[in-house]
Homo-oligomer: A and B are copies of this chain.
């Protein structure tokens, strides 16, 4: 009776409307609430086994699928998680995203990825996610002192950082041990006999930039190198071009470093460019170490020696952390740090002179 009515009323009525819990109920001669219970693992124990089975069967028969929007409206949980990424196209990010999404997926959550590119304010993007009712946010974008964080606090939205930390260390995060990574790099070079090691640092308002720089300074100090033998130039973005510029400045110094540690593989590739521009050989004249071990850096020439960080694990850890926060808002803030590993390839060699 209802159907015909509808098709008269509207243009798109032809497509059979998705079956609802009511349809299943009608087919089984039970009340919708019973169907709801039978189909919910948590409430299933409240309904008789045979009835539950009948309902299950009917649901399958007519291809019933739960409507998440309706459920979300009633329960206040959407099962949606937002992920803010600085740039999806950055080759470093997909593995992290994959780790996040896989874990969340397994737990029944769906992931909305938002690229915070040139687009309007990050605030606004967050607001749109809030409008969608996300249950939490994974931020891969946060700078050391960031408004977005406060914004989320105000909205009482669970948040975790991935591959970043905030200045105050207030937010839970999953990140690589930046200091340890730099130590691996510096010790590798020192072990090869290098005495003058430069650093192309990343932007200092990003935690990886600041922390890797600090790690570099500490490692170099511990290795007994005087500061003037460990010059630092800061790149203003994590790009190949910025790496090139910074490296050129480093190479222009009075005492040229025999090795350069870059804060990031992209920067390291920029260092390659700079060396080429100056007619210097790598690793013959200058050894280079990167950071992140992003895909295909083993294929560049020379294959890049770099610090591998556990990106997938990082993503998964972040997801787990977020879920824990969502489940119990009183949980202690956690900082998961993942151990890096140095991958020695062809861009570093012994220095003997």
Residues of A in contact with B (beta carbons under 8 Å apart): 2, 7, 11-12, 14-16, 18, 65-70, 72-73, 78-80, 88-91, 93-95, 97-98, 101-102, 105, 110-115, 117, 119, 127-133, 153, 156, 269, 272, 295-297, 299-301, 328-330
| Seed contacts A66-B131, A69-B78, A91-B94; 20 additional CB < 8 Å A-B pairs | A11-B330, A12-B156, A18-B130, A65-B131, A68-B132, A69-B69, A69-B72, A69-B73, A70-B73, A79-B132, A88-B94, A89-B95, A89-B98, A91-B296, A105-B114, A110-B114, A111-B113, A272-B299, A296-B299, A299-B300
Inter-chain contacts of A128 with B (CB < 8 A): 110
Q: How far is the CB of A316 from chain B (nearest CB, A)?
A: 13
Query: 13 pairs across A/B with beta carbons < 8 Å?
Result: A12-B329, A65-B130, A69-B69, A69-B133, A73-B73, A79-B132, A89-B94, A89-B295, A90-B94, A94-B94, A102-B117, A110-B114, A269-B299
Inter-chain contacts of A105 with B (CB < 8 A): 114-115, 119
Inter-chain contacts of A127 with B (CB < 8 A): 65
- Assess whether B114 is in contact with A112, with CB atoms less than 8 Å apart: no
Q: How far is the CB of A130 from chain B (nearest CB, A)?
A: 6
The 7 A-B residue pairs whose C-beta atoms are closest, nearest first, are A301-B301, A15-B156, A299-B300, A89-B94, A69-B72, A69-B69, A65-B131
Complex formed: what's the CA distance from A294 to B11 in Å?
40
Inter-chain contacts of A131 with B (CB < 8 A): 65-68
Complex formed: what's the CA distance from A95 to B90 in Å?
9
Q: A301 is contacted by which of B15, B102, B153, B299 (Cβ under 8 Å)?
A: B299
- Assess whether B72 is in contact with A101, with CB atoms less than 8 Å apart: no
Complex formed: what's the CA distance from A132 to B112 in Å?
12
Q: Which residue of B lies closest to A97 (CB)?
A: B88
Q: Which residue of B lies closest to A16 (CB)?
A: B156
